[in-house]
Amino acid sequence: MDWDEYIKWGKEAVVWGSEYRKNLRNYPVRSQNKPGETFNSIPSNPPENPESIEQIFDDFKKIILPGVTHWQHPRFFAYFPANAAPASVFAEILTNTMGLQCMLWQTSPSATELEEKVIEWLRISLDIPEGFGGIIQDTASSATLTAILTMREKALNWKGNKVGLSGQGKLRIYASTENHSSLDKAIWFSGIGEDNLVRVPVYGAYRSMDPVALSDAIHNDRRKGFIPAGIVGVTCGTSTGSYDNLDEIGKIANNENLYFHVDAAWAGSAIICDEYKYLWQGIGKADSIVFNPHKWLGAQFDCSVHFLKDMNVQKNTLSLTPEYLKTSGVEGITNLSDYTIPLGRRFRALKLWFLIRSEGLSGIRKLIRDHINWSEELFHRIKLLKNIEVITEPVLGLFTFRFINQNSENINEFNEKIVKEINDEGLIYLTPTKVGEKFVIRFMAGTLEMEENDIDVAYECIKEKSERISL
């Protein structure tokens, strides 16, 4: 393909993409492919000679598309939202076309400075205190890993990277039982070790970290000779919507001089709405905060915003600048790769800039409010159905439930079977989780193309299963 041919096929791709997004209801939400179906449809050997874009594009539609789970589908109620608003998609075309490498200020000054400005826009929108800076990471997993590495280095007086962890004493990280699995991986990769992740019990309807248990765990560890390094709090975890009292946890972190990271990957978008800022009280006590615009906000993957109270603390952990990467003769600049594990960086800020400007905060707020209201409407309808047990109440529209069958010896296995049936039918897509020992079904609304009547479809699917149990 040359650039003249690109014009033709670029137009074809845009037209196809627009029609695809407008007609998603015609597809089953989850791919109906069997394992190996796509793999076996592709030749074993790569082509020796060039093939036409027309043929490749045709094969994309025939081979690849049937094996896709449609995350933008209006009845995708699984996992978490992963939206891709038109303005963001458009900006990503520009980004991909330019092919920029945005690791340093001098490699693309506009990319760095736009990122700083967009971070400031979001700081203001989320009511994060003045003075916080930040960067755009690829995912919340990367942000969490860098936060854990920073905890490690700060607790070891910046010696870990230099001399290693051997003989330094055992570090301890504290988090509730509701934290995301990315934290476990960060603990592994940081060298702290899984056994030194202290799982603090939760309490109450919202499964919040118990501050008394947290304080006791820290004091007990100090007496035993461990080195407490940091605390990870959560604002609406993606399993059940659990959230910690950030103000109480933050006070403990500050009093104990522990680095405090807050995971708001999914829920952070909702804080743009004033009525949900109660989930955020005490956020100024955090040292590090992550939220993902590539979930609910509308900026497609990957785009994770990582706020930092003191940018220098993370820079001291991650910055490594060989001579060939130094910028000479320029003062007052920021090299954003100093704050991330990868050196190379995409121009992620551009899609956020396009998105926020094209939708406005008012448009984003309406989207989020609609999703939450529709989800709560469904909750109130299905909890009246027979053979349905509500497990957790809605938090930002996320709730869990399960089917009850008096004739089934194993309710967990029964629900696993039911959710598979629902998903195989293709009208809606739900995913499970566990609350204690209970296998439960999650419902979470959040796709851009969703409309209120999609709730009706979900209700009818769930209702049909509940009524069939009684037959």
Residue 36: φ, ψ to 5°: 85, -5
- pTM equals 0.87
Question: What is the average pLDDT across 196-211?
Answer: 87
Question: What is the average pLDDT across 61-88?
Answer: 89
Contact 333, 118 (CB under 8 A): no
Indicate if the pLDDT at residue 330 is higher than 70.
no
Per-residue model confidence (pLDDT) at position 283:
92
Per-residue model confidence (pLDDT) at position 250:
94
Indicate if the pLDDT at residue 43 is higher than 70.
yes
Question: What is the average pLDDT across 59-71?
Answer: 91
Question: What is the average pLDDT across 150-155?
Answer: 90
pLDDT confidence bin for 324, thresholds 50/70/90: very low
Where do the domains of the chain lie, and which CATH numbers do they carry? 100-346 (3.40.640.10)
Question: What is the average pLDDT across 300-326?
Answer: 78
Indicate if the pLDDT at residue 468 is higher than 70.
yes
Question: What is the average pLDDT across 273-285?
Answer: 90
Q: 172 - beta bridge partners?
A: 228
How do residues 415-460 score in pLDDT, each as one tens digit? Answer: 989 999 999 888 999 989 888 888 999 998 888 889 999 999 999 9
Question: What is the average pLDDT across 104-133?
Answer: 87
Cα–Cα dist 88/99, whole Å: 16
Question: What is the average pLDDT across 304-331?
Answer: 73
Contact 395, 236 (CB under 8 A): yes
Q: Helix or strand or coil: residue 378?
A: helix
Task: State how far Cα 348 lies from the chain centre.
Answer: 15
Task: State how far Cα 152 lies from the chain centre.
Answer: 23
CA distances to 118, 176, 287, 345, 411 from 133, in Å:
11, 26, 11, 18, 48
Q: Which of 212-216, 277-281, 289-293, 317-321 has the lowest mean pLDDT?
A: 317-321
Give the N- to C-terminal CA distance of the chain in Å, as an integer: 60
Burial of 153 (0-12, 13-18, 19+ CB in 10 A): buried
How do residues 334-375 score in pLDDT, each as one tens digit? Answer: 777 777 877 778 888 899 999 999 999 999 999 999 999 999
Contact 110, 117 (CB under 8 A): no
Cα–Cα dist 230/175, whole Å: 9
